[in-house]
Amino acid sequence: MTQLPTVVLASRNAKKIGEMRDLLEPYGIPLVSVSEFEDVSEVMEDGDTFQSNAEKKAREVAQATSHWAIGEDSGLRVDALNGAPGVYSARYSGPDATDELNNEKLMVELKGVTDDQRGAEYVCHVAVADPSGTVRLNIEALCRGRIAHEAHGSNGFGYDPYFQIREYHRTFGELPPIIKRQLSHRARAFNQLLPKLVRILSES
């Protein structure tokens, strides 16, 4: 079997890296974090769409490392909040945002909103750039659910303890990682991406 080139993930989020490494490993794609490259600066996520942020991350990290790179931007869109927090999901509560503060703000914003109005979706956009920085792939996927009134479970990260999958009546925070890897927005995006990624990496 031909050794596929190493791909750099444009993220320093350890949980996200672990989740993506699990998705790529069965395909024989070596994945490393951009944090392993000391001289690569943080990419400013100033786009107004998930796609523009993902593409920018992939492009800049590919150029800085001379490797294939994956840029991923994901977030939560809540129906009752007109799609907020959207691209601001990671920094919803401000420049010093944490998962806990973001979730606290979400609960404040949804105070008094009934179950039937708490529909939401997780969005994941993945862009892949070749070592020159040319974006070669774009994939976007969604996972629909609703926002619970209180946190349940400690698995996952971000808004996972509040994001309830209707079919399971449980949040991503409660579901085992193996189930999340099948259902999540990120898993759905990568299921579409991986066959295409293997093909272009093999051709390179």
pLDDT at 187 over 70: yes
Residues belonging to the active site: 73
What pTM was estimated for this model as a whole?
0.90
Helix axes 185-203, 14-24, angle to 10 degrees: 60
Q: Is 130 annotated as a binding residue?
A: no
Confidence of residue 192 (pLDDT cuts 50, 70, 90): very high
| 73 is annotated as contributing to ligand binding | yes
Q: How does DSSP classify residue 162?
A: T
1 pLDDT above the threshold of 80 = no
Does the annotation flag 11 for ligand binding? yes
Which residues face 139 on adjacent strands? 126
pLDDT tens-digit series, residues 76-109: 999 999 999 999 999 999 999 999 999 999 999 9
DSSP state letter for 134: -
183 close to 157: Cβ distance less than 8 angstroms:
no
Share of the chain above pLDDT 70, in %: 99
Residue ranges of domains in the chain, CATH in brackets: 7-203 (3.90.950.10)
Flag whether 67 is marked binding: no
Per-residue pLDDT of 28-49, as tens digits, reads 999 999 999 988 888 888 899 9
Q: Is 111 annotated as a binding residue?
A: no
